[in-house]
C-alpha cells in the first residue's frame, strides 16, 4: 500500500472515530468528598466530563436538580457551581450530571460521586465569666483539670490548655511525659510537682478546629499543690481510657490509656493476639505510649486491645475497638461498550460491615431519574434480579439503548453512589470469506481472503492464528497478501513437497477491536497427500500406539486358532453321541468303548460274517440261535426279558454300527 493511500485511510479511520457518539464519562470529581467550610466562604465546585457530542452540565442538591439563584450559580457549559456566600442553608450533598445527545431523542446522563459541604460549627462556652474551679493536690500525687461543659462542634474539636496570669498573658501548657490532654479535653498530671501550682494565675481549656489561632476559651481552673519533703512511691492506677471507640473502615483509629503513679509508669499496648505493639507502618504509639493509633483500619482490626501501666506493680485495662462502615462495595457499576443484539448486565452489590444488619435493596436511576422497580414497562427491556441488585438490559439496539444507570445504597453510617454508562455499537460483520473447508491439490491457489465491517467509531483490526502461533503484523508461512487486489492466498505451485505438507491445518483470521472479537476459521486439507502416518499424526495418535494395537490383534487371532486346533484334536478319538442316542437315557457309548465291550464288533468284516448282514437287514427276523448269541448283552436276564425291557437297543446300535462300517 502506498504512503499516500495509507495516510488517506488513516485520516478516514480517525474521522470515523471522531464522529462516533459516546455517552458522557465523569472525569472530575473522581471520588466522594466531604468539606467543612467557614460561614460566608466563597465556594466553587468543578465538574468535568468527556463524551461525544459535547457534554452539557447539570447540578443536583440532595438529589434534586437545581438552577441558578441568588445563592447558587450553575454554568451548564463549564460545569462549575458557585456559592458566593456559603451558610448552613447551602450545606448538603451535591452531584453534577453531564449529558449529551447521541441519537434522536436519546440523552444519556452520567452523574458524579457525591460532594458533601458542611459548615464549621464551633460554639463558645455559655458562661465565659465563671469563677475559677479550685483543684487541690500534693506533690507526687495525681490531679486532673476538667474541660467542663464542652460546647458542640462539627467536626470534633481539638483541645489545648493555657495558663493565664493576672496581667492577662497566656502561656500554652506543653504536653510531656508527666502531662497529658485526653480526647475529651481533660488535663492530666500523672503526678504533681510544685511548679504546677497557680498562685494568682489560672488554667483555661481551649478548643479549635481548623486553625489553632482561632480558638474558644473555656471555664477557668485554679490548681493548688501541697509541698512534700519526700515524694511517696505511688503504685500505678488507671485514671482514663477510651470508652467504646467506634471508627469507620479506612480511618485512623485512636485509643487512649492514662495511668497515674510515682515514679512514672511505663505504658505498653498488646494487639488482638496479646502480642506487644511497637511503632511500625500499621501502628503508631504517641504521647509517651498513652495513645495508640491504628492506620487505615479494616474489619480485621476489630476486637479487644490491652494496655498496661507498670512501675512498682502492673495494672491492665482492655478496650474493645468497634470497626464499622457505610456500605462496602462488592461489585459496583462501571461503563460498558457492547455490540448490538447482546445483553448488558449492571450489578450494584454492597454489604454492611461484619456482624451488622444487611443492606436494603439499592435505589436505581436511569439518566438521573429514579426507576420505579415496582412498576416497570412491560416491554421486557429491563429485568431486575438478585433482590434488585442486578439489572439486565435485553437485546441492545443502537442508539435507543445508549444510557447511564446509577444506584445508591445506604445504611446508618453513610451511603455509596455508583454510575455506569452503556454505549451500544454495531457488531463486527464478516462481509467476505472463502469456503471454510478447502480440499486442495498441488498447484491450487488457496483463497484466505477475509474482510469485515464494524461500528464507525471502532478501528477494526486483524490477526492470524495458525498452529498455536499468533501473527499480528506478519503472515503465517507461505501466506501472501496482495495490497493491490486486497487478496490473501497461498500459491502452492512454487512450494516444495515439504513446504506443501506444512500448509495443511486451520487458519484462523480474527477480526477484533477493544470490545469484540470475531474469528473466521478456514480448514485446509491436502487431498493428494493422504498418508497413513500423516493422518495418524494429524489425529494426534502416536504411531507406536497403532503398532502395539496391531500386534495385540495378531496375538489374539493366533490364540483363537490354537484353541480351535486343540479342541479338534481332543474330539478325534472320542465317540460322538448323536441326537437319537441322547434320547436313550441308559446308553453310555464312551464307557462301553472303555470296557472293550464292542471291540469284537469293530473287527467284523461284513463281507465274511453273515450275521452282520442279518443285523443290518431291518426285515430280518431273529432266530433262537440269534437270541442266544446276545445273552452277553442281557446282563444275566433271559432273552425275552432283555428285549421286553429295551427292544430298541439292538436297532440303535445296529444302525450305528452300519454307519461306522
CA angle 462, 465, 471 (to 5 degrees): 65
What pLDDT score was predicted for residue 505?
A: 96
Does residue 112 form part of some domain? yes
CATH code, domain with 449: 2.60.40.10
pLDDT one-digit tens code per residue, 614-633 = 444 444 454 444 444 444 43
Q: What is the tally of helices (H) and strands (E) in the chain?
A: 10, 49
Domain boundary among 425, 442, 468: 425
Q: pLDDT grade, residue 316 (50/70/90)? A: very high
Residue 599 has pLDDT above 50, yes or no: no
Q: What DSSP letter does each residue of 343-404 carry, written as one string? A: -EEEE-EEEPSTTSPPPPPPEEEETTEE--TTS--TT-SEEEETTTTEEEE-S--TTTT-EE
Domain boundary among 497, 530, 563: 530
The more confident residue out of 649 and 277 is: 277
CA angle 173, 178, 182 (to 5 degrees): 65
Mean pLDDT is highest, among 155-164, 417-426, 594-603, for 417-426
Does residue 369 form part of some domain? yes
Residue 341 has pLDDT above 80, yes or no: yes
**Residue 434 CB: number of other CB atoms within 10 A?**
17
What pLDDT score was predicted for residue 16?
A: 41
State whether residue 382 is helix, strand or coil. Answer: strand
Residue 69 has pLDDT above 90, yes or no: yes
Q: pLDDT grade, residue 594 (50/70/90)? A: low
Does residue 574 form part of some domain? no
What pLDDT score was predicted for residue 219?
A: 82
Q: Which domain holds residue 165?
A: 128-232
What pLDDT score was predicted for residue 416?
A: 96
Residue 491 has pLDDT above 80, yes or no: yes
Instruction: Please tell me the total count of domains within the chain.
Output: 5
140 and 218 belong to one structural domain: yes
DSSP one-letter code for 298:
-
Q: Which long-range contacts (CB under 8 A, 24 or more apart) does 609-614 make?
A: 612/657, 612/661
State whether residue 116 is helix, strand or coil. Answer: strand
d(CA 37, CA 120): 6
**Average pLDDT of span 367-380:** 89
pLDDT one-digit tens code per residue, 460-489 = 999 999 999 999 999 999 999 999 999 999
Does residue 547 form part of some domain? no
Chain centroid offset of residue 407 CA: 21
Scored b (16 or more CB within 10 A) or e, 156-179 reads ebbbbbbbbeeeeeeeebebeeeb
Mean pLDDT is highest, among 203-207, 526-530, 568-572, for 203-207
112 and 194 belong to one structural domain: no
Cell of 183: 480526647
What pLDDT score was predicted for residue 572?
A: 57
What pLDDT score was predicted for residue 419?
A: 98
Please check whether residue 275 is in contact with residue 157, taking contact to mean a CB–CB distance below 8 angstroms.
no
Where do we find the cell 479494616? 298
> From the CA atom positions of the chain, what is the Rg in Å?
52
Where do we find the cell 491439490? 441
Helix axis angle, 532-539 relative to 543-571, nearest 10°?
Answer: 110
134 and 226 belong to one structural domain: yes
Asked which of 133-142, 248-257, 587-596 is least confident by mean pLDDT, the reply is: 587-596
State whether residue 151 is helix, strand or coil. Answer: coil
Domain boundary among 119, 151, 180: 119
Cell of 469: 502461533
What pLDDT score was predicted for residue 570?
A: 64
pLDDT one-digit tens code per residue, 385-433 = 999 999 999 999 999 999 999 999 999 999 999 999 999 999 999 999 9
142 and 228 belong to one structural domain: yes
335 and 390 belong to one structural domain: yes
Asked which of 140-154, 496-510, 523-537 is least confident by mean pLDDT, the reply is: 523-537
What pLDDT score was predicted for residue 169?
A: 85
The more confident residue out of 159 and 5 is: 159
Residue 148 has pLDDT above 90, yes or no: no
647 and 590 belong to one structural domain: yes
69 and 148 belong to one structural domain: no
**Residue 353 CB: number of other CB atoms within 10 A?**
20
Q: pLDDT grade, residue 378 (50/70/90)? A: confident
pLDDT one-digit tens code per residue, 534-591 = 444 444 567 778 888 898 889 999 888 888 877 776 655 544 544 444 454 445 555 5
157 and 169 belong to one structural domain: yes
DSSP one-letter code for 632:
G
420 and 388 belong to one structural domain: yes
465 and 514 belong to one structural domain: yes
The more confident residue out of 224 and 130 is: 224
Asked which of 30-39, 150-159, 175-184, 560-569 is least confident by mean pLDDT, the reply is: 560-569
The CA-atom distances, in angstroms, between 464 and each of 9, 18, 474, 506, 508 are: 22, 28, 8, 10, 6
115 and 136 belong to one structural domain: no
Q: pLDDT grade, residue 150 (50/70/90)? A: confident
**Residue 658 CB: number of other CB atoms within 10 A?**
12
Residue 61 has pLDDT above 80, yes or no: yes
Does residue 303 form part of some domain? no
**Average pLDDT of span 45-57:** 97
Please check whether residue 247 is in contact with residue 287, taking contact to mean a CB–CB distance below 8 angstroms.
no
> Percent of the chain, pLDDT > 70?
80
448 and 384 belong to one structural domain: no
Residue 31 has pLDDT above 70, yes or no: yes
Q: What DSSP letter does each residue of 233-284 carry, written as one string? A: PEEEEEEEE--S-EEETTS-EEEEEEEEEESPPEEEEE-TTSPBP-SSSSEE
Does residue 165 form part of some domain? yes
Does residue 283 form part of some domain? no
The CA-atom distances, in angstroms, between 283 and each of 60, 255, 300, 301 are: 40, 11, 14, 11
Q: pLDDT grade, residue 210 (50/70/90)? A: confident
In which order are the strands placed within the sheet that holds 487-491? 445-447, 487-491, 480-482
Does residue 107 form part of some domain? yes
d(CA 347, CA 86): 37
Amino acid at each position: 500500500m502506498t504512503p499516500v493511500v495509507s495516510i488517506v485511510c488513516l485520516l478516514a479511520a480517525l474521522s470515523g472515530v471522531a464522529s462516533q457518539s459516546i455517552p458522557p464519562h465523569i472525569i472530575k470529581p473522581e471520588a466522594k468528598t466531604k468539606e467543612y467550610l467557614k460561614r460566608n466562604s466563597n465556594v466553587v465546585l468543578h465538574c468535568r466530563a468527556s463524551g461525544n457530542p459535547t457534554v452539557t452540565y447539570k447540578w443536583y442538591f440532595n438529589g434534586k436538580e437545581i438552577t441558578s439563584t441568588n445563592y447558587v450559580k450553575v454554568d451548564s457549559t463549564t460545569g462549575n457551581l458557585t456559592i458566593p456566600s456559603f451558610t448552613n442553608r447551602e450545606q448538603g450533598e451535591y452531584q453534577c450530571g453531564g449529558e449529551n445527545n447521541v441519537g434522536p431523542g436519546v440523552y444519556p446522563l452520567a452523574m458524579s460521586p457525591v460532594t458533601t459541604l458542611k459548615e464549621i460549627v464551633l460554639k463558645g462556652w455559655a458562661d465565659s465569666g465563671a469563677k475559677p474551679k479550685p483543684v487541690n493536690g500534693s506533690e507526687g500525687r495525681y490531679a486532673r483539670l476538667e474541660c467542663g461543659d464542652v460546647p458542640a462542634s462539627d467536626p470534633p474539636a481539638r483541645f489545648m490548655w493555657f495558663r493565664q496570669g493576672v496581667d492577662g498573658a497566656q502561656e500554652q501548657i506543653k504536653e510531656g511525659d508527666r502531662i497529658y490532654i485526653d480526647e475529651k479535653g481533660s488535663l492530666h498530671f500523672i503526678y504533681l510537682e510544685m511548679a504546677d501550682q497557680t498562685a494568682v494565675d489560672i488554667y483555661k481549656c481551649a478548643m479549635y478546629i481548623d486553625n489553632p489561632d482561632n480558638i474558644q476559651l473555656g471555664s477557668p481552673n485554679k490548681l493548688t499543690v501541697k509541698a512534700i519533703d519526700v515524694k511517696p512511691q505511688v503504685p500505678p492506677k488507671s485514671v482514663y481510657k477510651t470508652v467504646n471507640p467506634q471508627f469507620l473502615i479506612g480511618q485512623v483509629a485512636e485509643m487512649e490509656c492514662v495511668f497515674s503513679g510515682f515514679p512514672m509508669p511505663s505504658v505498653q499496648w498488646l494487639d488482638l493476639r496479646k502480642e506487644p505493639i511497637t511503632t511500625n507502618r500499621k501502628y503508631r504509639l504517641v504521647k509517651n505510649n498513652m495513645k495508640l493509633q491504628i492506620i487505615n483500619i479494616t474489619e480485621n482490626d476489630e476486637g479487644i486491645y490491652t494496655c498496661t501501666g507498670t512501675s512498682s506493680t502492673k495494672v491492665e485495662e482492655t478496650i474493645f475497638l468497634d470497626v464499622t462502615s457505610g456500605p462496602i462495595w462488592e461489585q459496583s457499576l462501571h461503563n460498558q461498550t457492547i455490540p448490538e443484539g447482546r445483553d448488558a448486565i449492571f450489578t450494584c452489590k454492597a454489604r454492611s460491615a461484619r456482624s451488622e444488619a444487611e443492606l436494603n435493596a439499592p435505589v436505581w436511576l436511569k439518566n438521573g431519574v429514579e426507576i420505579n422497580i415496582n412498576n416497570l414497562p412491560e416491554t421486557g427491556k429491563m429485568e431486575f434480579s438478585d433482590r434488585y441488585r442486578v439489572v439486565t438490559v435485553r437485546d441492545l439496539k443502537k442508539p435507543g439503548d445508549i444510557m447511564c444507570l446509577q444506584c445508591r445504597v445506604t445504611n446508618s453510617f453513610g451511603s455509596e453512589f455508583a454510575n455506569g454508562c452503556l454505549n451500544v455499537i454495531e457488531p463486527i460483520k464478516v462481509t467476505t470469506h472463502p469456503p471454510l473447508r478447502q480440499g486442495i491439490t498441488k498447484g491450487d491457489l488457496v483463497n484466505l481472503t477475509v474482510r469485515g465491517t464494524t461500528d464507525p467509531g471502532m478501528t477494526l483490526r486483524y490477526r492470524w492464528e495458525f498452529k498455536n502461533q499468533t501473527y499480528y503484523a506478519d503472515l503465517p508461512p507461505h501466506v501472501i497478501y496482495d495490497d493491490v487486489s486486497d487478496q490473501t492466498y497461498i500459491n502452492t505451485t512454487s512450494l516444495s513437497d515439504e513446504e506443501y505438507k506444512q500448509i495443511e491445518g486451520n487458519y484462523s483470521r480474527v477480526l477484533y477491536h477493544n470490545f469484540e472479537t470475531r474469528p473466521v476459521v478456514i480448514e485446509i486439507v491436502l487431498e493428494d497427500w493422504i498418508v497413513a502416518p500423516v493422518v495418524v499424526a494429524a489425529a494426534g495418535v502416536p504411531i507406536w500406539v497403532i503398532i502395539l494395537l496391531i500386534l495385540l490383534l495378531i496375538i489374539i487371532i493366533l490364540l483363537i486358532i490354537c484353541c480351535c486346533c486343540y479342541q479338534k484334536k481332543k474330539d478325534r478319538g472320542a465317540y460322538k453321541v448323536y441326537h437319537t442316542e441322547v434320547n436313550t437315557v441308559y446308553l453310555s457309548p464312551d464307557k462301553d468303548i472303555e470296557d472293550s465291550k464292542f471291540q469284537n464288533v469293530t473287527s467284523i468284516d461284513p463281507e465274511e460274517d453273515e450275521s452282520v448282514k442279518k443285523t443290518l437287514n431291518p426285515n430280518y427276523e431273529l432266530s433262537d440261535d440269534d437270541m442266544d448269541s446276545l445273552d452277553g448283552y442281557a446282563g444275566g436276564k433271559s432273552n425275552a426279558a432283555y428285549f421286553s425291557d429295551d427292544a430298541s437297543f439292538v436297532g440303535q446300535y445296529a444302525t450305528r454300527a452300519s454307519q461306522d462300517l
